[in-house]
Structure formats: C-alpha cells, structure tokens
Chains A and B, each alone.
Chain A
Amino acid sequence: MKASMTDRVALLGRSGLDIVAALGRSGIFLFQALAGRSRFGNAFGLLVRQLYSVGVLSMVIIVVSGLFIGMVLALQGYNILSGYGSEQAVGQMVALTLLRELGPVVTALLFAGRAGSALTAEIGLMKATEQLSSLEMIGVDPLKYVIAPRLWAGFISMPLLAMIFCVVGIWGGAMVAVDWLGVYSGSYWSNMQNAVQFGDDVLNGLIKALVFAFVVTWIAVFQGYDCDPTSEGISRATTRTVVYASLAVLSLDFILTALMF
C-alpha cells in the first residue's frame, strides 16, 4: 500500500465530484430530452410504441401482484381485526393501505424491475452498438428520437398501472374477505367509502405514483444513456437502475407521506 494520505483524500474528493457531475449530467439530459417540441412527424407513433412496451407489457405482473397483495392484506387484516371483533373494518384497511402506500410503492418497484431495467438495457445496447451515434451522424437527435418517447411513456403509464394495481388489490381483498371469510359485503364497501376520501387518499396516491414514475423512468433512461458501452457496463447500468430506483422510491415515499398525511 503505497497510496499516501493525500492520494486517498484526493480519491475521495474525486468520487464525490463524480457523483455531483453525474447528477448534473442527468439533469441536463432530462432537460434536453423534454424541452422543446419534437420535430418528428411520427412522434405520436413513437410514443405509442413505447407505451406498449413499457405500459401494456407490464400489465400482467401488475395485475397478478395487485391481486395477491390485496388478498394477503385482507387475510392478515381479518386475522388481526377479528381479535377485536371489528372485522368489518377490513375493507377500509385494505383500501387505505393500497391507496396510500402499497399501490404507488409496489407498482414503482415492480415497474423499475420490469420496465426500468428493460429501458436501461435497450438504450445501453443501442449505445454499445453505436446506434445512437449513427442517429446523430444522420442528423437525428437521439435525445428527441429515442429518449423522449421513452420518458413520456414511463410518466404516463406508471400512474395508470398504479391505479389498476389499487383496483385489482381492493377487488382481491373483497374476494378473500367477503366471499371466503364471510365479512358482510355491505360493511366491507360502506366502511371503505366512509374512510376513503377522494382528495386525501386517491389523489395523493396518484401524486405519489406520478412522482415515482418520474424518478424511476428518469433513472432508468439516464443509466442506459450514460453507461459504459460494453457488455459489462450495460449489466452494471441495469443493476444500478433497479437499486437506485428502489432506494429513491422508498426514501421519497417517506418524505411524501410525511408531507401528505
């Protein structure tokens, strides 16, 4: 170990500067991709194609996970609440848990794993095979042609997925609580309707989902665009997408919850 003290301090400083520089790069990247209008006549077609691969293809995992999470919530809630003789409250417990926390958060985590990693790998491979620089060569801005539609597709589809997740979860909870465990269906739904406020719960959940959509898509697309153009670099970028996106979602969720509720 020959590294002197000053070398180590310099290394530490450089890695700190690298992080700040990456943050700045990602901000400029986001601005350049979203600012201004797309000059492509088929911008809408590009967006539809991305909405399909980002949103529609994520439907299955979202619906299945939502169903099972709702069912588990109802089962756990029933077991705990029936100890107090208030198993009628299971509906409001399932609905509030899903709308306020689990809906946006789990959707964002699944979205990062399902769609985010795919976005990173796809863009990273485009970069590695020099498709992005070829686009630039023929005078097409890859930020506008490749990046922007993917960003918008993420922003649009994740909140929709979160809403679908919540509805499927609440329906799954109703299936377990009402059909299997015998909670009276009137009290399941009416307790839920009394407890859930549209502005406080549904809209705040939607805002959460929008924020998560923004963060997850941004991280995923930027990691792909910024990766080392090697196979190893792509794999590292994909891992970073999932790790960073999950951490960002979970920590942002705490801040948003503290602000909202």
Chain B
Amino acid sequence: MRMRTLELTVGVFILAGLLALAVLAVRVSGLSTNATGDVYKVYAHFDNVSGLTTRARVTMAGVTIGQVTDIQFDKNRYTGRVEMAIFDDVDTLPSDSAASIVTAGLLGEKYIGISVGGDDMMLADGDEIYDTQSALVLEELIGRFLLNTVSSSDE
C-alpha cells in the first residue's frame, strides 16, 4: 500500500478513537451538564439528609436546574446543611420556595425537588431556603405503619 494511503487510514483510525472518547465524554457521561460554569449557591437545612449525595440533581417540575455540591453537619442547629449550585439562567426562584428530598422510584437515587413559592423576592447567591422537607426514611415509615396496625387491632 502506498505510504500516503497508509497515513490517511491511520489518521482516520486515530481520529475515530479520539472522537469516541469525545462522544463518551459529552453524550454518555453528560459532562456538559455537569460543568461548573455559571451557577449560584443556595443553602438549605434538612433534619435528615439520609441517602442524598453530592452531585445529586436539584430539580424543579422534574427538570434538572442544578446539583448538590456539598453536604455538611451543622453542629449548632443539629441539621444537615446542603449546598446547592443552581444554574444562573434559573434566576426566578421565589425566596419562599420549598426544598424537599425525594426519591426517584421506590428504591432509586435521592434528589432535591424544589417547589415554587409566591414571594416577590427572588433567591440570590448565598441565600437559604427555609421551607424544607426531609428525606423519607423507609424504616421509620414501616415502623409507624406497624405501630398503627397494632394500636388499631387493640381497639
């Protein structure tokens, strides 16, 4: 085979390999949506953050509008302090919006759902969401259900 054709095929091969890596980065791992670019930070305190992890989604109306960037224990308030990075173009969240930790499916991953409030003031960088609802702990729920069954069978 002529050297020129050889070089061309090898070049195409290497390009295909690099292109595959690019596809894996953008299309498969969704690197573009995880990029920390234009975001602002919002905080929320939860009584129980069990199961929530960093990089978990923050959604509103089911659409991802940011991600959890940090989870720490607040030793003064005995709560879990969650730091969220919200995309900059979502700048119309009323300051009395509510954040709740919800589960995707019965056993799926935990994420934060934000339901819209009615205030005229909008959340800005560094603000806190006061209205929060903790993670649903399945064991507690089952325990309460069992307790109810026992007390109702006593009557």
Give residues in A with beta carbon < 8 Å to B: 45, 48-49, 51-52, 55-56, 59, 86, 95, 99, 156-157, 159-161, 163-164, 166-167, 170, 189-190, 192-194, 196-198, 201-202, 206
Contacts and interface: CB of A to CB of B under 8 A. Distances in A.
Nearest to A63: B16
Interface string B61-103: 0000000000000000000000000000000000000000000
Nearest to A153: B10
18 contacts: A45-B3, A51-B14, A52-B6, A55-B14, A56-B9, A95-B28, A160-B13, A160-B18, A164-B16, A164-B17, A164-B20, A167-B23, A167-B28, A193-B30, A196-B30, A197-B29, A197-B55, A206-B21
B24 A48 contact: no
Contacts of B121: none
A163 B13 CA distance: 12
SS class, residues of chain A in contact with chain B = helix
B146 interface: no
B6 A163 contact: no
Interface of B: 1, 3, 6-7, 9-10, 12-14, 16-18, 20-21, 23-25, 27-31, 33-34, 55, 57, 105, 108-109
Contacts, number: 84
Contacts of A163: 17-18, 20-21, 24
SS class, residues of chain B in contact with chain A = helix
Nearest to A202: B24
Given A51-B14, A202-B29, 13 more contacts: A48-B6, A51-B13, A52-B1, A52-B13, A55-B10, A160-B13, A163-B21, A164-B17, A167-B20, A193-B28, A194-B109, A196-B29, A198-B25
Nearest to B16: A164
Nearest to B17: A160
A161 B17 contact: yes
Contacts of B57: 194
Contacts of A161: 17
